[in-house]
A and B are shown apart, each in its own frame.
Chain A
């Protein structure tokens, strides 16, 4: 492990290095880590900014949208001057402003069954902050196939959920909870039902926290549990989430490829 830090790094990460659970060893793990963020929106914005600030060495960012005015109530990596710009570019610029020491790799692409395995290949941890169920199930199945840890957050209205899925190391996958997507049109998107901007900020930041814990191997993992937050009631609870031995994805007779996924259809902006 490379524990050689520059003076600027030692100063920048001083409050991390002070923590007994982090120290130079943890900070070095962060620098060596490679994390992919799917979705540069309400969850991806705080997630990217906190991972970059924390010194996660290589951060990939995938999204195919451009910044719209209706994004700015919650997507804090973009500014008014970024309207019309690819989200991955404006978010990458924001992350580099905070920390030029980390490598941010913007990829303007729509995630589909044809590119997902290539997109995740170079990364250790994959973060789902996407805005639709097709992509969520695809990312989960791809992570199970490739043996990658998936840190998945979701929001709607005043509610947030967070899970860490790593069946390759024990514990459930996303499909152990939800075996299949809901029928199209039944569960609204944030664009249809709304979302409180600050809720995406909290959930993206909790997602960043779990990513940092996973990288450093500290604390109690969320894997095997699901965190649910109701902002209106201001109640947070974690429920046990067991692995399903008959899961269609990570079970003994789970998918061997991604052929059950359709190519993505164009979607409305998140």
Chain B
């Protein structure tokens, strides 16, 4: 999983908005604005290999690019696995 820079570091850099969200139950901070598609890209995840839930609702893959994350959002990323 890719590492987001911490909120403190981001503030010190005095750059764009810091977006603090929960990813898989962990608090993370990213440069905003950020869409679901952008988040997966930052995390190095292939969108075709995961399902994404934002605030307890599944986000359709077709909507990843236009679904913008907001501060405090809770995002869950579920890997597609099918072994038995």
Question: Which residues of chain A have a CB within 8 Å of any CB of chain B?
Answer: 39, 41-44, 128-133, 136, 153-156, 159, 161, 176-179, 182-183, 186-187, 189-190, 193, 195, 200, 226, 228, 237, 239-242, 244, 270
Total chain B interface residues with beta-carbon distance under 8 A: 20
A contact residues around B60 at 8 Å (CB): 179
The interface-forming segment of B10-18, B32-40, B44-52 is B44-52
A-B CB proximity, top 9 nearest: A190-B83, A156-B81, A131-B84, A240-B56, A129-B84, A239-B76, A156-B83, A39-B84, A133-B82
Q: Would B24 and A237 count as touching, CB distance under 8 A? A: yes
Q: Would B49 and A182 count as touching, CB distance under 8 A? A: yes
Q: Would A154 and B58 count as touching, CB distance under 8 A? A: no
B contact residues around A161 at 8 Å (CB): 78-79, 81
Q: Pick the contact of A187 from B24, B76, B78, B80 — CB < 8 Å?
A: B80
Question: Which residues of chain B have a CB within 8 Å of any CB of chain A?
Answer: 24-25, 46, 48-49, 51, 53, 56-58, 60-61, 76, 78-84
B contact residues around A182 at 8 Å (CB): 48-49, 80
CA distance A178 to B46 in the complex (A): 15
Nearest-Cβ distance from residue A109 to partner chain B, whole angstroms: 16
B contact residues around A153 at 8 Å (CB): 84
A contact residues around B78 at 8 Å (CB): 161, 177, 226, 228, 239
Nearest-Cβ distance from residue B84 to partner chain A, whole angstroms: 4
